[in-house]
A and B are shown apart, each in its own frame.
Chain A
Amino acid sequence: MMGKGGEAAASAQHKEENEEEGDMVGVVKLISAEGFEFVIDKKAAMVSNTLRNMLTSPGGFAETREGEVRFPEISTAILEKICQYFYWSLHYASGKETAEFPIEPEITLELMMAANYLDT
């Protein structure tokens, strides 16, 4: 589980708002407990079943409308790692090539809780 050296294809970037609709195209903004904003591709966010449901639910929840999701219980560090994981998963999950996903021991617990929450 633990490993090092593999490069994460995370390209989490701050700011920029993009109000784009559509199933797989466009970006979504994830906001951490501390208020840091991560704008990632919807495609990547869909790796999480929770996010997938959130973004595709028919009802027109606030998140779908505004294209941003707040996580009051997830810290910036964890959310960043999660975003990295989304991209990592997107890249390697299906393909034959594999690479280790580095997880620092000190965040393991919190990351797992977040993973459970996000159904990832």
Chain B
Amino acid sequence: MSGGGPPRKRNFKIEAFKHRVELDPKYAERTWKVLEHAIHEIYNHNASGLSFEELYRSAYNMVLHKYGEKLYNGLESTMTWRLKEISKSIEAAQGGLFLEELNAKWMDHNKALQMIRDILMYMDRTYVPTSHRTPVHELGLNLWRDHIIHYPMIHGRLLDTLLDLIHRERMGEVINRGLMRSITKMLMDLGPAVYQDDFEKPFLEVSASFYSGESQEFIECCDCGNYLKKAERRLNEEMERVSHYLDAGSEAKITSVVEKEMIANHMHRLVDMENSGLVNMLIDDKYEDLGRMYTLFRRVSDGLSTIRDMMTSYLRETGKHLVTDPERLKDPVDFVQCLLNEKDKHDKIINVAFGNDKTFQNALNSSFEFFINLNNRSPEFISLYVDDKLRKGLKGATEEDVEGILDKVMMLFRYLQEKDVFEKYYKQHLAKRLLSGKTVSDDAERSMIVKLKTECGYQFTSKLEGMFTDMKTSQDTMQDFYAKKSEELGDGPTLDVHILTTGSWPTQPSPPCSLPPEILTVCEKFRGYYLGTHSGRRLTWQTNMGTADIKATFGKSQKHELNVSTYQMCVLMLFNSSDGLTYKDIEQATEIPSTDLKRCLQSLACVKGKNVLRKEPMSKDISEDDTFFFNDKFTSKLVKVKIGTVVAAKESEPEKQETRQRVEEDRKPQIEAAIVRIMKSRRVLDHNSIVSEVTKQLQARFLPNPVIIKKRIESLIEREFLERDKADRKLYRYLA
């Protein structure tokens, strides 16, 4: 009704003029009969003979003459009667025809209902709202629900039929999905409540028991991988079922039933399954199965955490085994390589199967952090691994390969809690590499330093960088030295000095041995030159770190060039003047510390193929009563013979202790500095807060022990940097 049309309000006025239609008392009855007949005809598919206008006008007039109620009640009872008839015919339908019949009748009813609503439109429009009755269409649906769907002989049978069909489909039979679709749509049309109460709820219950049974059966006879495959298939089937013939709202419900029955209820058993559970999948790199487990378990609450926990405990277990396996500890390079392989393997699993899930990555990282720090030699080994790579391992590798390996090492480094220990070892190993000129690639060395710098800051690497600078200036100094003094030196031995800044290098103060006179003169000349150009400096010789190339002639005038350490050179030079010397003689002449001397004699006399000395009596070890002779019969295919000192690449137990001690010593000032920094800004703080703040500040380098922090605090109190609060003994004050 718009613009020009008369407003509906005036209807009431019009009624006053209704007298022109005759008010026959039988009029209502007669008109109703016409309509009732029409309704029957509509149900009988005979509507073509009816005039819509006539029926509409009849209904219109009845409502207009206040027979609306009669019309409505008449409609209700007529429809009810028709539906009861229909219910009988549906009930009579046998077996498979039942649903067909129900569906056909439903279609009929729907069509008839629409026609009836159309002819009774006027009643729907005026009588129904004013007297608060149910609109015709809804009335039709309600009657259908009450007299067909809830009819005892149909109700149960309908549900059973539907559930049976679904069960048969689950067992692999093909069913009429179109029919199912129509029936469930009918239930939905009757209202979501009808669908839910009369179908969905029992459907879910039956599904739950079905899947509970099936999952029980599967889990008894399948391995984990197969079970998951089956569960995934079932889940997809149910989703497909919903999309084909159930209401979309059921999807979440039925999938949650499947998830609960097939996954959540068996989660732990699946993960723990022997020979095929999570651990085996991880071991065998079963990316597909793991991926399936991930996507399925993600659907249920706690699913992923179950996988994660299991993975974490597995990683910790194997990791712990790995880092404490004494066999592994024999070869540090292999040890680190193992760790890297392990990390690569699980990275790939997380990437491929677990969708790069951040929480899994975190779990992996924390596991590594956990077990790497279980072994306090990890920092040393990681440094040794880098040492090995930078000495020889990287030969022929491209720049990217080098970067790749170093990046991986850095990853392990990040897990370390005692980064300062790593620094200590790294310094030692770097020093050895630099001094012996063994480093493969300067670029790789620098790249590693840059990485450490970005990871831990300038402080961490400043000394390492100082070492590189020293190497460079030494080279320049040596060039200058030879340019200026070459005529003075004559034919004497060539000297190559590395001038190392004290503090930057991991030098152990060791008493210099007495050098052979030939060498000593050159050294003195250099000392003169150096102190002449740089006044105010002190030069000490680190004879324990040098190397020497010496030429030796053996029995059959065989000439060899021997590459030995400074100590070994000193020992060998003694044999220029005598053929046989006792241990005591050597010790006296060279003043080499006894442990070093033993080691150096061992490598000269006891290593096969490199035994330029002969020992009496013959044995593997050096004892203080041994006598040594120049070995005339020494032969070697090589002109250049490298005589390594028997130094364990790995530190021996006392050395380890020593390093640890030094690390602890180094930590003290760092802890104190941190305490002072904190107290300076806070002025007053309680003990526990200090400990936690200090731990936080130093975390990047090491994990300080609370007991040690306490000792440092006490020491600071003694030195009057801090004082205890007079009232509260737990509080400390900063004294400026």
Contacts and interface: CB of A to CB of B under 8 A. Distances in A.
Interface string B27-67: 00000000000000010000111111100110010000000
A1 B5 CA distance: 8
Given A112-B10, A116-B8, A62 B3 contact: no
Given A70-B53, A109-B14, A113-B14, A60 B47 contact: yes
Contacts of B114: 57-59
Contacts of B48: 59-62, 65
Interface residues of B, number: 31
Interface stretch (A10-18, A19-27, A34-42, A86-94): A86-94
B3 A98 contact: yes
B122 interface: yes
Contact of B52 (A64, A108, A111, A112): A64
B4 A103 contact: yes
A117 B18 CA distance: 14
A89 B52 contact: no
Contacts of B3: 89, 92-93, 98, 101
Contacts of B1: 115, 119-120
Interface in A29-62: 49-50, 53-54, 57-62
Given A62-B48, A70-B53, A57 B115 contact: yes
A62 B121 contact: no
Q: Tell which of A85, A98, A111, A112 has the most Cβ of chain B within 10 Å.
A: A112
Given A109-B14, A112-B6, A116-B8, A57 B53 contact: no
B2 interface: yes
Contact of A53 (B4, B111, B112, B121): B121
B119 to A, nearest CB: 8
Interface residues of A, number: 38
Contacts of A106: none
A1 B119 CA distance: 31
B726 interface: no
Given A59-B111, A60-B48, A64-B52, A53 B5 contact: no
A15 B6 CA distance: 29
A63 B57 CA distance: 14
Contact of B51 (A62, A108, A111, A112): A62
Contact of A71 (B2, B4, B53, B112): B53
10 A-B pairs with least C-beta separation: A101-B4, A112-B6, A59-B47, A59-B115, A61-B52, A53-B118, A57-B118, A54-B52, A62-B51, A63-B52
Interface of B: 1-6, 8, 10-11, 14, 17, 42, 47-53, 56-57, 60, 111-112, 114-115, 118-119, 121-122, 125
29 contacts: A1-B6, A53-B52, A54-B52, A54-B53, A54-B118, A59-B48, A59-B50, A59-B111, A59-B114, A59-B118, A61-B50, A61-B52, A62-B49, A62-B50, A63-B51, A72-B57, A85-B4, A89-B3, A89-B5, A92-B3, A93-B2, A98-B3, A100-B4, A109-B14, A109-B17, A111-B6, A115-B6, A117-B57, A117-B122
